[in-house]
Amino acid sequence: MSEPDRRGDHGTGSDRRVPGRLYVAFTLIVIVITGLLAVLADVGLAIRTEYQMSRAIVASPRVSFDPEVTLSGFPFLTHVRAGRFNGAVIAARDVTLPGCEGRGGCRGELGATLGPWHIDDAWDITADDVVRTESVSAHTKLDAVTMARYLGIVDLTVSTPAPDGKVGGGGPQDGAPSRQSGVVLTGTVALPPSAGDDPDNPPSASTFDGPKVRVSVSVDLSVQDGRLAIRATDYYTGPERHVDADVPEAMRAAVLDRFTTILPLIPLPWGLTPQWAASLGGDILLHAQAGPADLRLDAF
């Protein structure tokens, strides 16, 4: 056979392999696109279910804005069909709290983390549905503004010193530090402290027109009969940011006592009773934990 004929046969075999490669490539593309569409559909179903649960919770009398809801479970379609999920995290912000009437109002964040849970119909979640969970952890977070209004010290700040003896404690690698004792409160107090009890002339560094002093004190947090108890133990002079101030000896105890109080009953999700309190960075949280529970969504 001549040389041109051999080249022609070789070219024909190569041409025959091209359609096969195109078929494999096309099949792979179809598989990838199908998988991507399936993932997007699953994500869309998750968003829809989380939105339904959020709208159900906002029907609770004390929740004014749609809470954030994050559900655990993938693939989500499987969990929705079964009505069973690996967990849930709920955060309802700007919830009105009692005890600040006439002080500008107090607000907090109500949050909950559910363990594995199930619901009768996950396709259509409504306000009167009941979630049956293996465990629930709940909290109410009070920021510095709210704590200032409860204490009547309008420029109050809250800080949490890093753990004792831990170099770099409280950095990004450690998360926000948390403590039940040794929490630092800093604020301006009138001299004598009783002079700042007038709500129209509070002991603020910017508005109080009488003698005053700005101090940092160390406090312990606890729960007494379901209420947050704050007890000042001493003036703070540690390594964390604080204010050094000269307080007249005759007024030291009274100024310290200005940071001691027991708050009114603060609600937690689903009416759980607070079991302990702790700071978290610049906030103070009331916590509760419970085992298996049936939780109606509009009773959050």
How many other C-beta atoms can be found within 10 angstroms of the C-beta atom of residue 89? Answer: 14
Q: What is the DSSP letter of 22?
A: H
Torsion angle, alpha carbons of 35, 37, 43, 49, to 10: -120
SS3 call for 218: strand
| Mean of pLDDT over the chain | 86
Q: Could you report the per-residue pLDDT of 179-237, keeping only the tens digit for each?
A: 999 999 999 999 998 887 777 777 777 778 889 999 999 999 999 999 999 999 999 98
Q: Could you report the per-residue pLDDT of 11-53, keeping only the tens digit for each?
A: 555 555 667 667 666 677 767 666 665 666 556 668 889 999 9
What is the Cα gyration radius of the chain? 30
Specify the higher pLDDT residue, 101 or 153. Answer: 153
Tell me the residue type at 124: D
Say yes or no to pLDDT of 173 above 80.
no
Instruction: Answer for the pair 231, 217: CB distance below 8 angstroms, yes or no.
Output: no
Q: Could you report the per-residue pLDDT of 275-293, keeping only the tens digit for each?
A: 999 999 999 999 999 999 9
Q: Would you state the pLDDT for residue 165?
A: 61
Q: Would you state the pLDDT for residue 100?
A: 84
Instruction: Answer for the pair 33, 41: CB distance below 8 angstroms, yes or no.
Output: no
SS3 call for 193: helix
pLDDT band (50, 70, 90) for residue 297? very high
Specify the higher pLDDT residue, 61 or 25. Answer: 61
Say yes or no to pLDDT of 118 above 80.
yes
Tell me the residue type at 116: P
